[in-house]
Chain A
Amino acid sequence: MNQRPVYLVDGARTPFIKARGRPGPFTPVDLAVQCGRPLLLRQDFPVSAIDLVILGCVNVVADEMNPARVAALRLGISDETPAFTVQINCGSGMQSLDTGFRAIEDGTHEIVLAGGTEALSQSPLVLRRGAVEWFAALNRARSVGDRAKAFAGLKPGYLKPVIGLERGLTDPITDLNMGQTAEILAHFFDVSRREADAYAVESHRRLGEATKNGWLKDEMLPAVARDGRAFDHDDGIRPATTVQDLARLRPAFEKPYGKVTPGNSSQITDGASWVVLASEAAVETYGLEPLARIVDSAWGGLDPSIMGLGPVTAVAPILRRQQMSVDEVDLWELNEAFAAQVLSCVAALDQPEIADGVLGLEGKGGRIERDRLNVDGGAIALGHPVGTSGNRITLHLANALKRLGGKRGIATQCIGGGLGGAMMLEAA
Chain B
Amino acid sequence: MPFQNKKQRDERKRYDMGRMLNALSERSLELGPARNAEPTGHFRVARDDDGIVWMVLDRTDKRVNTIDRPVLEELNQHLDRFEREKPAALVIRSAKKAGFAAGADINQFVGASAAEIKAALEQGHQVLDRLARLSCRTIAVVHGHCLGAGLELALACDRRIAVSDASLGFPEVMLGLHPGLGGTFRAPAVADPIEAMTMMLTGRAMPARRARSIGLVDAVVEERHVAAAVEAAFYGDLRRKSPSLAGRALGFRPARQIAARTMRKKTAEKARQENYPAPFRLIDLWEAHGGDEKAMQRAEIDSFAELIESETSKNLVRVFFLREKMKGLKDGSSGVRHVHVIGAGAMGGEIAAWAAGQGFRVTLGDIRLEPIGAAVKKAAAMLEKVVKDPLKVRDALDRLIPDPEGLGVAHADLVIEAAPEKIELKHKIYAGIEPKLKEGALLATNTSALPLQDLASGMRDPSRFVGLHFFNPVSRMQLVEIVSHDRISPETARRATAFAAEISRLPAPVASAPGFLVNRALTPYMAEALVLLDEGIAKERIDRRAEEFGMPMGPIELTDQVGLDIALDVATSLRERLGEDTLPAAPDWLTRMVEEKRLGRKTGRGLYDYDGEGKPKKIAPEALPDGSRDDPDMVDRLILPMLNAVVACIDEKVITDEEIADGAMIFGTGFAPFRGGPVHYARQRGIDAIVARMRELAAKHGPRFTPHPGWERLKG
Contacts and interface: CB of A to CB of B under 8 A. Distances in A.
Interface of A: 33, 37-38, 41-42, 46, 48-49, 74-76, 78-81, 107-108, 110, 222, 224-230, 232, 279, 281-282, 285
Contact of B377 (A79, A81, A226): A226
Nearest to B12: A48
Contact of B2 (A33, A110, A226, A285): A110
7 contacts: A37-B401, A48-B11, A74-B394, A76-B399, A226-B377, A228-B378, A230-B372
Interface stretch (B14-22, B74-82, B216-224, B647-655): B14-22
A78 B13 contact: yes
Interface stretch (B266-274, B403-411, B551-559): B403-411
B376 interface: yes
3 tightest A-B contacts by CB? A228-B377, A230-B373, A48-B13
A41 B6 contact: no
Given A49-B6, A279-B3, A228 B374 contact: yes
B3 A38 contact: no
A248 B394 CA distance: 45
A41 B1 CA distance: 28
Contacts of B378: 228
A224 B3 contact: no
Interface of B: 1-3, 6-7, 9-11, 13-14, 17-21, 361, 363, 369-370, 372-374, 376-378, 380, 394-395, 397-399, 401-405, 407-408, 411
Contacts of B2: 108, 110
Contacts of A282: 3, 6
B323 to A, nearest CB: 32
A226 B393 CA distance: 11
B342 to A, nearest CB: 15
Contacts of A49: 6, 10
Contacts of A229: 373
A41 B408 contact: yes
Contacts of A75: 398
Contacts of B14: 46, 48, 78
Contact of A74 (B11, B369, B398): B398
Contacts of B21: 79
B519 to A, nearest CB: 30
Nearest to A221: B405
Nearest to A42: B407
B17 A79 contact: yes
A78 B397 contact: no
Main secondary structure of the interface of A (DSSP, over half): loop
A38 B364 CA distance: 11
Given A46-B10, A76-B361, A76-B398, 20 more contacts: A33-B398, A38-B403, A38-B405, A42-B407, A48-B9, A48-B10, A48-B14, A49-B10, A74-B394, A79-B18, A79-B20, A107-B1, A224-B372, A224-B402, A226-B397, A228-B378, A229-B373, A230-B373, A232-B369, A282-B6
Nearest to A75: B398
Contact of B373 (A38, A107, A108, A228): A228
A41 B3 contact: no
A56 to B, nearest CB: 21
A110 B3 contact: yes
Contacts of B398: 33, 37, 74-76
A285 B373 CA distance: 37
A74 B361 CA distance: 12
Given A49-B6, A79-B18, A224 B369 contact: yes
A154 to B, nearest CB: 34
Nearest to B405: A38
Nearest to B13: A48
Nearest to A232: B369
A285 B4 CA distance: 11
B29 to A, nearest CB: 23
A42 to B, nearest CB: 5
B411 A41 contact: yes
A49 to B, nearest CB: 5
A73 B363 CA distance: 18
A1 B405 CA distance: 43
Contacts of B1: 107
A224 B20 CA distance: 34
B373 A224 contact: yes
A75 B401 CA distance: 10
A38 B404 CA distance: 10
Given A41-B403, A48-B14, A281 B3 contact: yes
Contacts of A222: 369, 402, 404
Given A42-B407, A48-B13, A230-B370, A224 B18 contact: no
A238 to B, nearest CB: 22
B355 to A, nearest CB: 15
A46 B19 CA distance: 18
B376 A224 contact: yes
A230 to B, nearest CB: 4
Contacts of A107: 1
B383 to A, nearest CB: 10
A228 B382 CA distance: 13
A282 to B, nearest CB: 8
A80 B6 contact: no
A230 B408 contact: no
Nearest to B406: A41
B377 A227 contact: yes
A33 B396 CA distance: 13
Contacts of B407: 38, 41-42
Nearest to B18: A79
